[in-house]
Structure 1
Amino acid sequence: MAEDSISSLVQTWLQWDQDPVTRREIEELHQANNTAELELRLRNRIEFGTAGLRGRMAAGFSFMNCLTVIQASQGLAKHIESQGKEFASKGVIIGHDARHQSHKFAQLAANAFLALHIPVKFVNESAPTPLVAFGVKHFKAAAGVVVTASHNPPQDNGYKVYSSNGAQINRPEDAEIAQSILKHLEPWPRAWEGDRCSGEYFDKEALHEILAPFQSRVKQYAISTVSEPYPTRPFIYTPMHGVGAIRIDPLMKEMGMRQGQEYIIVPQQAQPDPNFSTVKFPNPEEAGALDLAIKVADEENKTLIFANDPDADRFAVAEKVEGKWFLLTGNHVGALFASHLFDTIDSSKDASKITVLTTTVSSGMLQKMAESKGIQFKESLTGFKWMGNVAQDLEKTGQTILFAYEEALGYMFPAVSYDKDGITAMSVFSMAAAKWQAQGLTVFGKLQQLFAEYGHHETLNNYFRSSSPQQTAELFHGIRNGPFLPKMQFGKFKILRWRDLTEGFDTASSDHKPDLPEDPTSQMITLWLEGGVRFTLRGSGTEPKVKFYIECCSDSRGDAVKSVCGAFFAILKDWVHQYAPSMTYSNELSTSSGSVLLVDKETLAA
């Protein structure tokens, strides 16, 4: 598209797009001679990566809309067809969340596969993403598609793709699909007839075929994690205006829990609402996202909150501790899951044949816990597109993968599926909370018990807001070419190890090659510092952010907090202010134990 004139791009768009809303957007911009906006919308294509597409819904090749969904689906369908008739005959399963346009996008996607006589199992109602991840394996499908933007703002949508193994697509398949999309951009003759999907290759009853097996598998697995039934610890649940409650409610009933007694769903957030009207940002990690759930919990005199994000693949926990609400981090919940699941391992089993997984930006605590039990530990690159595939590779060698997690509230249980699953996570955690209650422990109390045994692991995770990919690239270019690596010094900290997975460099190995795959498509640098500090700086693959993940393990909570805060100020002063001074960030950050860090000019000067 680089050599095309903007007028030519406009004409191509109007020739291909049959959606009256997005056609009108481009027509009005063209009539107003708004070249700058047309360049933004039409010059570059929305990137196919991170298991598919995600972005703002608007007209133009750069955004999520009917045409870009059709193009992605045609490319994916052709890719599947190229694998042979027998493979393509396995079909695809397609689901969607309750966001604006999600059902329409899903229908248009289905139409592309039907055009090539690739069977479609269509989940005709809004459903959680984990249901489709489970469905790919259950139906032995060639692929799965979910139209969802997960926890993004209401103006966004996305297109998530699963490979035939039930895990998110990964390289090289993602690049192969991206190339196939570019070869099939022009909509096929009946591409816009998505709302009239029908015929022998179209099964719109997939939800009813898969729901009972999914719920049965989740229930069986959750119950199998406790040695005996314990009285439920009551909790408040919020699906964050998403699709979680649609499936959680019947599942909880199957597990013997009654709404209004063992659990209460936040009424204002129980039904799907694509505008997410009671939250500023529908992500349980964000400050204020659980305010309404906390209000209901206080009114109902409950001290435990569970939350899913809108497509129910993430899971969050909050607990009232000594009169104040404590939001557990993903690392906290990951350690608690590990402790709970380790209890399920039969003493007669060879622990060395069991593996747990986490990512490079998650806490080091899981490794300590696993090694203390003789269990194998494996680290992967960030995201479940890596962990889901690594898990299956390990299974081929005879390993049993107990579970995997990443710090961004994602938990995977291969006994159910190979992607993060907030529904299974909630079901299992409810069993764990009941067990700990019977032992006289709160969730927070169990966490402190683990810290006493394995060291206090304090983290400070947040992000800098980047104005553009170019600004992100400039920041990392400055870091790599600065004095830090040659001097092995960072602020007041001595650098013990420097790993750059973008460029495939690691000071810890004799040949300076890392033990993890390099990924030149993403920005990621990790430093190990004197004093037990480790941190990673990485560019987000789905949002305009540069994320940082800082951790320190210490016998003292106070020392750990001091160290992670010191590392943050070094990142801010020596890196961000030097190489990307216009990046914005929160002036108030909280460490994982709730210590508040205020960032102002006076503090920085000191």
Structure 2
Amino acid sequence: MTWRTTYEKWDSYQGMDPTLKKQLEEMGSSKIELEDAFYKELTFGTGGMRGTLGPGTNRMNIYTVRKAVNGLVNYLKANSEDVETRGIAVAYDSRYMSKEFAIETAKVLGAFGITSYVFESLRPTPILSFAVRHLGAVAGVMITASHNPPEYNGFKVYNEDGGQITPSEAAQIIKSVQAIKDELCVPVNEQVKVEQNGLLNWIGEEVDQAYLKSLKSISRYQHGSNRFEPITIVFTPLHGTSFHPVMDGLTQLGFNHVHVVEDQANPDPEFSTVSSPNPEEHQAFKMAIEQGKRVDADILIATDPDSDRLGVAVKDGKNAYTVLSGNQLGTLMLDYLLSQSSQELLDNGRLIKTIVTTEMGRAVASHYGVGTIDTLTGFKFIGEKIKEFETTKEQFLFGYEESYGYLIGDFVRDKDAVQAAMVACEMTSFWKAKGKTLIEALHTLYERHGYYLEDMTSLTLKGKDGAEKIAKMMADIRENEVTQIGGLPVVYVEDYATSERTAMATGSKEKIELPTENVVKFLLTNNSWVCLRPSGTEPKIKCYFGVSSGSMDESNSLLQQLKEDMTQKINKSV
């Protein structure tokens, strides 16, 4: 079926949602826009499907959501037990259509006789992960597009362990979704009927209180022998979901000097005070920094809209604030947690990080006698490893990725900005008692382990043409042998699509014991590395860089060399 045939089917559908019908009519004069909306179906990436709102099979709308739910139902019925009675937990964030998509999910589930547990109001992604485990649900659905622009929304699926679906699960769900030939004819019941039949259950406070109780367990106060100092905190939820859980969690731990950025406290699908609601981008801290200076804050914390990512800014000693990178914040939290853990925990403890996360984490973990496990990019792989620990009896201590995702307590199986906010504030208090800011604490770690620096560049290429260009770039990098980057020789090439690690000097190969993925990583001399990876959720190709040396100046110089050379190599393929 061509894209035009699919478009005509939608255009002639008598029961079309009025809003989508109007949008279709407005798109009718643009062949490019119509083709992009209908040339393919939204597929599951690193955590589910995500796309721009609007009509079409390549857009987020009630029909593509219904089809995804129908496919999920068929998959669960074929692979799980007691699906109807165990039910599915559903949560949603502050974006356009989020609550509507959550209710559509419940309406489709109800048509199949499956119970849904839908939060009465918006909630963070980690609380959805917690709810799946707490309720014993067979799966979970989170309606969110994380930190993407306002025109996006998404549908993330969680398995019964509360983790993002794994690649094997995703492959089966995709197959199940694709088997449904007509997204416009998915069975659906009216909301009132589903409620009357007891198949739509609204949930809230009981789950929230259970989460808060578990949240308290990650505190290391009881292990530390040092006196903790009161600190002043500035907090912004960036118009998202984290206001209540973060504030309740901080109060529970005894942090009473919390100043909220009021203009960013309320949910807002336009994210009107920031150009992007992403704490990875420094502009998101503009208002928090202004408020931090007024109240002389020790730490500024910002969460993304669905509250699975945390950004932090701290005093830099020059009457200003520095935004920490995800690698820096994660390494600081790791060191704090391990330094305050019992020897019993450390003896069998494990750090889990991704292949593009700083190698400084491995150095810190080794310092405390803790082993490090690497996974592919995506927190679903970290959650999967935690599940394996139930059999291996290894002890999960910390998991993180460079893109501001962290997990401390395994009662959640996805990155959790609420947990991370608690630990970030606690360790700020810990270091303040020692007379140091987090910046000074970070330099203490650099002096101990080496000056590890990382960076990432990305190239956005939207639409069908963009996807083809990204595919060509990855093909070119594989076909044309790269022997050096930034003047540093390539020692090994790791191709995760073929699961092979090749030694450049001998040509010998060894197997990479990780799932396959379209990623190429170059291991260079001087503990440096470069990794090229198309995003699973955005129309981007990302290039990650890591270096280590005995001084900050040398590391900065090495990093710049790598970035300049790799940018040239990538641009030649565009």
Report the TM-score, using the length of structure 1 for normalisation: 0.89
Q: Does the residue aligned with 2:283 lie in a helix, a strand or coil?
A: coil
Flag structure 1 segments of 5+ consecutive residues without an equivalent.
581-606
Flag structure 2 segments of 5+ consecutive residues without an equivalent.
none
- Tell me by how many angstroms 1:189 deviates: 6.8
Query: Which of 544, 563, 577 matches 2:571?
Result: 577
Q: 1:28-66 CA deviation, whole Å, 9 max, x = no partner?
A: 444x4x443322212211112322111110111101111
- Which residue number corresponds to residue 468 of structure 2? 470
- Contact 1:528–1:535, Cα closer than 8 Å, also in 2: yes
- Which residue number corresponds to residue 202 of structure 2? 205
- Which residue number corresponds to residue 215 of structure 1? 212
| 1:441–1:17 Cα change, 3 Å | farther
- Contact 2:3–2:40, Cα closer than 8 Å, also in 1: no
Mapping 1:231-270, distance limit 5 Å:
231-258=229-256, 262-270=257-265
Q: 1:468-507 CA deviation, whole Å, 9 max, x = no partner?
A: 11111111222212242xxx33352211111111232211
Q: 1:492-536 CA deviation, whole Å, 9 max, x = no partner?
A: 22111111112322114996244242424x3x1111112331121
Q: C-alpha separation between the residues in 1 aligned to 2:38 and 2:155?
A: 19
Q: Does the residue aligned with 2:533 lie in a helix, a strand or coil?
A: strand
- Contact 1:10–1:42, Cα closer than 8 Å, also in 2: no
- Contact 1:499–1:514, Cα closer than 8 Å, also in 2: no
Query: Which of 153, 159, 164 matches 1:168?
Result: 164
Identity across matched positions, percent: 27
Q: C-alpha separation between the residues in 2 aligned to 1:207 and 1:255?
A: 22
- Contact 2:67–2:186, Cα closer than 8 Å, also in 1: no
Q: Does the residue aligned with 2:216 lie in a helix, a strand or coil?
A: helix
Q: C-alpha separation between the residues in 1 aligned to 2:69 and 2:392?
A: 34
| 1:482–1:248 Cα change, 3 Å | same
- Tell me by how many angstroms 1:196 deviates: 5.8
- Contact 1:51–1:169, Cα closer than 8 Å, also in 2: yes
Query: Which of 528, 532, 538 matches 2:533?
Result: 538
| 1:51–1:270 Cα change, 3 Å | same
- Which residue number corresponds to residue 121 of structure 1? 117
Which segment is superposed worse, 212-221 or 83-92? 83-92
Which segment is superposed worse, 163-172 or 110-119? 110-119
One-letter amino acid matched to 2:145: A
Q: Does the residue aligned with 2:245 lie in a helix, a strand or coil?
A: helix
The alignment covers a number of residue pairs equal to 566
Which segment is superposed worse, 123-132 or 229-238? 229-238
- Which residue number corresponds to residue 373 of structure 1? 368
One-letter amino acid matched to 2:484: Q
- Contact 1:226–1:432, Cα closer than 8 Å, also in 2: no
- Contact 2:38–2:58, Cα closer than 8 Å, also in 1: yes
One-letter amino acid matched to 1:576: I
| 1:489–1:227 Cα change, 3 Å | closer
One-letter amino acid matched to 2:202: E
Which segment is superposed worse, 334-343 or 502-511? 502-511
Q: 1:8-42 CA deviation, whole Å, 9 max, x = no partner?
A: 54224643863211122224444x4x443322212
| 1:156–1:571 Cα change, 3 Å | same
Q: Does the residue aligned with 1:54 lie in a helix, a strand or coil?
A: strand
Which segment is superposed worse, 39-48 or 235-244? 39-48
Mapping 1:26-37, distance limit 5 Å:
26-30=24-28, 32=29, 34-37=30-33
Q: Does 1:568 align with 2:566?
A: no
- Which residue number corresponds to residue 320 of structure 2? 324
One-letter amino acid matched to 1:434: S
Q: Does 1:517 align with 2:514?
A: yes
Q: C-alpha separation between the residues in 1 aligned to 2:440 and 2:336?
A: 14
- Which residue number corresponds to residue 301 of structure 1? 296
One-letter amino acid matched to 1:149: A
| 1:483–1:4 Cα change, 3 Å | closer
Mapping 1:74-473, distance limit 5 Å:
74-184=70-180, 185-187=182-184, 191=188, 193-194=190-191, 197-222=194-219, 226-227=223-224, 230-258=228-256, 262-321=257-316, 322-347=318-343, 349=344, 351-467=346-462, 468-473=466-471
- Which residue number corresponds to residue 585 of structure 1? none
- Contact 2:453–2:548, Cα closer than 8 Å, also in 1: yes
- Tell me by how many angstroms 1:7 deviates: 4.1
Q: 1:332-389 CA deviation, whole Å, 9 max, x = no partner?
A: 1111111111123223x27341111000000001111112222111000001111110
- Contact 2:194–2:200, Cα closer than 8 Å, also in 1: no
- Contact 2:230–2:255, Cα closer than 8 Å, also in 1: yes
- Contact 1:109–1:194, Cα closer than 8 Å, also in 2: no
| 1:13–1:216 Cα change, 3 Å | farther
One-letter amino acid matched to 2:231: R
- Contact 2:214–2:411, Cα closer than 8 Å, also in 1: yes
Q: Does 1:501 align with 2:491?
A: no
Q: C-alpha separation between the residues in 2 aligned to 1:175 and 1:38?
A: 27
- Contact 1:226–1:431, Cα closer than 8 Å, also in 2: no
Q: C-alpha separation between the residues in 2 aligned to 1:215 and 1:287?
A: 29
Q: Does the residue aligned with 2:219 lie in a helix, a strand or coil?
A: helix
One-letter amino acid matched to 2:251: K
Which segment is superposed worse, 277-286 or 223-232? 223-232
One-letter amino acid matched to 2:106: A
| 1:555–1:270 Cα change, 3 Å | same
Q: C-alpha separation between the residues in 2 aligned to 1:298 and 1:483?
A: 51
Q: C-alpha separation between the residues in 2 aligned to 1:317 and 1:565?
A: 24
Q: 1:104-159 CA deviation, whole Å, 9 max, x = no partner?
A: 00000111111122111110201111111111111111001110011111111011
Q: 1:287-312 CA deviation, whole Å, 9 max, x = no partner?
A: 31111111111122224201111111
- Tell me by how many angstroms 1:325 deviates: 1.8
- Tell me by how many angstroms 1:224 deviates: 5.3
Q: C-alpha separation between the residues in 2 aligned to 1:16 and 1:434?
A: 62
- Which residue number corresponds to residue 603 of structure 1? none
Q: Does the residue aligned with 2:509 lie in a helix, a strand or coil?
A: coil
Q: Does the residue aligned with 2:167 lie in a helix, a strand or coil?
A: coil
| 1:460–1:350 Cα change, 3 Å | closer
Q: C-alpha separation between the residues in 1 aligned to 2:223 and 2:278?
A: 30
- Tell me by how many angstroms 1:81 deviates: 1.9
One-letter amino acid matched to 2:567: L
One-letter amino acid matched to 2:144: T
Q: Does the residue aligned with 2:543 lie in a helix, a strand or coil?
A: strand
- Contact 1:153–1:281, Cα closer than 8 Å, also in 2: yes
Q: Does the residue aligned with 1:333 lie in a helix, a strand or coil?
A: helix
- Contact 1:455–1:554, Cα closer than 8 Å, also in 2: yes
Which segment is superposed worse, 511-520 or 376-385? 511-520
| 1:189–1:497 Cα change, 3 Å | closer
Q: C-alpha separation between the residues in 1 aligned to 2:572 and 2:81?
A: 56
Q: C-alpha separation between the residues in 1 aligned to 2:81 and 2:448?
A: 55
Q: C-alpha separation between the residues in 2 aligned to 1:337 and 1:5?
A: 49
- Tell me by how many angstroms 1:459 deviates: 1.5
- Contact 1:225–1:341, Cα closer than 8 Å, also in 2: no
Q: 1:180-218 CA deviation, whole Å, 9 max, x = no partner?
A: 112234455752634764034435332122010001111
One-letter amino acid matched to 1:198: E
